[in-house]
Amino acid sequence: MAEAAALRVESLSRRFGGVAAVDGVDLEVHAGEALGVIGPNGAGKSTFINLISGALAPSSGRIVLFGEDITTCSADARTRRGIGRTHQIPRPFARMSVWENLALAARHARGGHDMRSVRANCRSILERTGLADVAARPAGALPLLRRKRLELARALALRPRLLLLDEIGAGLIESETRALIELIQSIRAEVEAVVLIEHVMDVITACCERTAVLASGRLLVVGDTRQVLASPEVAAVYLGTTDAGSGQAEDAAARPGAPATAAAALLEVSGATVNYGGVRALRGVDLKVRAGEVVALLGANGAGKTTLARAISGAVPLAAGSIRFDGSPISGLAAERITARGVGHCMEGRRIFASLSVEENLLLAVPPALRREAAARLEEIYAMFPALPAHRHKSGTALSGGQQQMLAIGRAMMSRPKLVILDEVSLGLAPIAVAQLYESLARIRATGVAMLVVEQNIHRGLQLADRACVLAHGSVRLAGRPEEIRGSRELRELYVGEDAGA
């Protein structure tokens, strides 16, 4: 391996308000190598790649590309200096043909002004990426794997020296993943270095000699890929056990009010299948939640957790299967009718109204049938979240991240749901804020409200739950009580790869 650095970042940081998304990262990518960058949701991976590509400006630190400081260069200037990238969600011009998408990118390449050279380059890339037979088709009509290939083809058309691949394996089935791995391996000789941000560990192990692990915006470790993936410290980051100093999680069977396993299902999902265009996001999922029960829905990024949550609350339609709630079918109903039946949903991303006060945000969520009880319900929510009453007249955006998340959950609870779905509520929060948030969730649990907790922090999810369900590639791979799931070799393999336990 050559000793020269293709890319070097020094004390690289990016802050959003009081949150350090990337925090003092020092890292080198050697010329001739493919470096993997992994980490759980919220680790700072997307921010890191956006800093390198120029989509974001750093708060501090330096970025050096092949010996040149590019820290203050624009994204276009970095493209001209040899950086090409893909995006996690393919972004072609949907109405333009595959060829037109590729030619447009090629014209922005280094030395891309000679049209004869541009056409020759495009033809060569179409052949190598397996897109020659669909060159005339609209890009928006392609299935996911072909859109992923087009995203890579467009990056290659820029003639990059450094290629940044962002979650290019997300959403693919196993056979498509193998095809993508072969494609990535085939282009290694055409670029001087590759940075591969990925959750699909098969792609990392097949394509990357070294791997860096980000956690809470900081560089945890970098080294030989198989040694990194076998590290207990890395597994602990993915499984959420690094903050488990308070001891073992409480056994659900010993908790007051834990529902009997023979109780009738409040929510029953049977054979749920969801498609997004050419992507099958859920594949015949079965799930039950009993009255008063807490079920943790776990899985790596792209496993289908959020899709299942949105299908239950009516935000996305089922392609097959059924969903019943409180004894009646709800699949196919409008989202507001499902809410009226007793399903609350706190979506990922908080989604509070910035122009409204805390109290106005909460009152806006009261359904017409409960307006006479609004004042009483408001006080009940304040009792669940003691940090909110002191800020009731402030704008929601004046709150800390943890308080904003409490407000978002409080809004979902204003309708007095029988079941509340909580989607990644700890994402992006500091450990102390997560601890305070889960204290509030325990208070909700004590009221008898059933909860479906979509969570990337496995330790926290299992600590709260009566049962857990683990998704992978849109299917249920593991289910059971927390004590059965916790420490399972299969759970570790689902997050950090099949070789991790070797």
Q: Are residues 98 and 191 in the same domain?
A: yes
Q: What is the pLDDT of residue 245?
A: 36
pLDDT at 480 over 50: yes
pLDDT band, residue 444 (cuts 50/70/90): very high
Mean pLDDT of 324-331: 95
pLDDT at 351 over 70: yes
Of 239, 256, 281, which residue sits at a domain end? 239
Question: At which residue do the structure tokens 């995006």 appear?
Answer: 87
Q: Are residues 333 and 480 in the same domain?
A: yes
Q: Are residues 156 and 219 in the same domain?
A: yes
Q: Are residues 122 and 233 in the same domain?
A: yes
How many angstroms separate the CA atoms of 397 and 408, rounded?
Answer: 12
Q: What are phi and psi of 262, to 5 degrees?
A: -85, -5
Domain assignment of residue 183, yes or no: yes
Q: Domains in the chain: how many in total?
A: 2
* Residue 195, token pair as written in the block: 């940075």
Domain assignment of residue 245, yes or no: no
Percent of all residues in the chain with a pLDDT value above 70, rounded to a whole number: 90
Helix (H/G/I), strand (E/B), else coil: 302: coil
Q: Are residues 82 and 127 in the same domain?
A: yes
Structural domain for 416, as ranges: 265-496
* Residue 482, token pair as written in the block: 């927390």
- Interhelix angle 431-446/401-413, rounded to 10 degrees, is 20
Domain assignment of residue 275, yes or no: yes
pLDDT band, residue 111 (cuts 50/70/90): low
For residue 282, the surrounding DSSP H or E stretch is: strand 279-290
Mean pLDDT of 429-451: 88
- Single-letter code of the amino acid located at 365: A
- Interhelix angle 98-106/115-128, rounded to 10 degrees, is 130
236, 219 in Cβ contact below 8 A?
A: no
Nearest to 28 by CA among 13, 45, 11, 8: 8
Nearest to 363 by CA among 343, 342, 388: 388
* Residue 12, token pair as written in the block: 């690289």
* Residue 148, token pair as written in the block: 């992923």
Q: What is the pLDDT of residue 163?
A: 95
Beta strands in 398-485 (DSSP E): 419-423, 450-454, 467-472, 475-480
Say which residues have a Cβ less than 8 Å from residue 150's Cβ, sequence separation at least 6: 90, 92, 98, 101, 102, 129, 131, 139, 142
pLDDT at 260 over 50: no
Say which residues have a Cβ less than 8 Å from residue 102's Cβ, sequence separation at least 6: 122, 125, 126, 131, 150, 153, 154, 157
**pTM for the structure as a whole:** 0.68
Q: Are residues 30 and 132 in the same domain?
A: yes
Question: At which residue do the structure tokens 């193998």 appear?
Answer: 178
Domain assignment of residue 251, yes or no: no
Q: What are phi and psi of 16, to 5 degrees?
A: -120, 100
Q: What is the mean pLDDT of the chain?
A: 86
Q: Are residues 178 and 280 in the same domain?
A: no
Say which residues have a Cβ less than 8 Å from residue 110's Cβ, sequence separation at least 6: 80, 81, 82, 158, 159
For residue 206, the surrounding DSSP H or E stretch is: helix 201-207
Q: Are residues 167 and 280 in the same domain?
A: no
Q: What is the pLDDT of residue 10?
A: 97
The enclosing domain of 113 has a CATH number of 3.40.50.300
Measuring CA to CA, how many Å separate 132 from each of 135, 177, 296?
5, 20, 45
Helix (H/G/I), strand (E/B), else coil: 131: coil
9, 162 in Cβ contact below 8 A?
A: no
